[in-house]
Amino acid sequence: MDVYIEEAGYEAGDRRITNISFQVQQGQLLGLIGPNGAGKSTTIKTLLGLLKHAKAQVKLGGANKSYAYVPEQPVFYEDLTLWEHLDLAAAAYGLSYETFEATAEKLLSQFGMEQVRNDLPAGFSKGMKQKMMLMLGFLVQPDIYIVDEPFIGLDPRATKDFLRLLEAERRRGAGVLMSTHVLDTAEKICDSFVLISGGRMTATGTLEDIRTQAGLPEASLFDCFDELT
Ligand SMILES: Nc1ncnc2c1ncn2[C@@H]1O[C@H](COP(=O)(O)OP(=O)(O)OP(=O)(O)O)[C@@H](O)[C@H]1O
């Protein structure tokens, strides 16, 4: 996926983010990092085509490429159970019933959600809602995952399960763009980073590149982030 955002905002004339460009390659995990209000979610909404006032180009990298978006705030239908949400997503992406059933069963067990498969998500805890959103993404096995802050609300076990699944998807060839504040995890799992601050790209590249740009050769991602923002 190639992303080039010249400018984007929430109203006409609002240049909330400017000159942000990056690539997500097959099997690659790109971390989108930056302080609160920096423009990470705005970047994601822009590349999804959700902002009306945007000058941007996004190429998925092929006519049949698919993507799944996992939002920061869970979005769900009040009247559909967890299983019905999975069924609906599978239908929307054209999965066969057999593939849907087998994959959905596996995900329910991997995320420890079998007991609540027939429950309405309105009664789920924050972490359970987050798990549902992640399951909906993993179910459809897209070419590209766009994940907005997945870690908040997940317990350590769920975080581990999520990271294991993400790793398997990358081995399958899926590319991932993930925004997060959890910098120690990001440092361990991301191949490269885009650091956004005040609506602009302030650093980009591998951890080594970011260290060079921060002038801190041995530093953690957190210390580079601190220096560059
Ligand atoms: N719907 C909106 N309408 C107007 N302004 C918005 C809207 N959503 C976000 N903004 C503004 O755009 C700027 C960037 O916000 P954004 O949500 O992209 O930040 P973020 O980097 O994702 O932050 P966080 O880490 O807190 O989630 C902020 O100044 C915010 O107030």
Distance of CA 40 to the CA centre of its chain: 11
**pLDDT exceeds 90 at position 63:** no
For residue 32, report the distance from its CA to the centre of ligand 1, in Å. Answer: 14
β-pair partners for 8: 17, 54
Predicted confidence at residue 164, as pLDDT, reads 94
Q: Which residues line ligand 1 (CB under 6 A)?
A: 10, 16, 34, 36-42
Q: What is the mean pLDDT of residues 131-141?
A: 96
pLDDT in tens, 3-47: 999 999 999 989 999 999 999 999 999 999 999 999 999 999 999
The closest residue, in CA terms, to atom 19 on ligand 1 is 37
Q: What is the mean pLDDT of the chain?
A: 95
Question: Domains plus CATH for the chain?
Answer: 2-65+143-228 (3.40.50.300), 77-141 (no CATH)
| Reported pTM | 0.94
Nearest to 41 by CA among 8, 6, 5, 72: 72
Q: What is the mean pLDDT of residues 59-79?
A: 91
Q: What is the mean pLDDT of residues 139-163?
A: 93
Q: What is the mean pLDDT of residues 102-121?
A: 97
Q: Point out the ligand 1 atom lying closest to the alpha carbon of residue 44.
A: 18
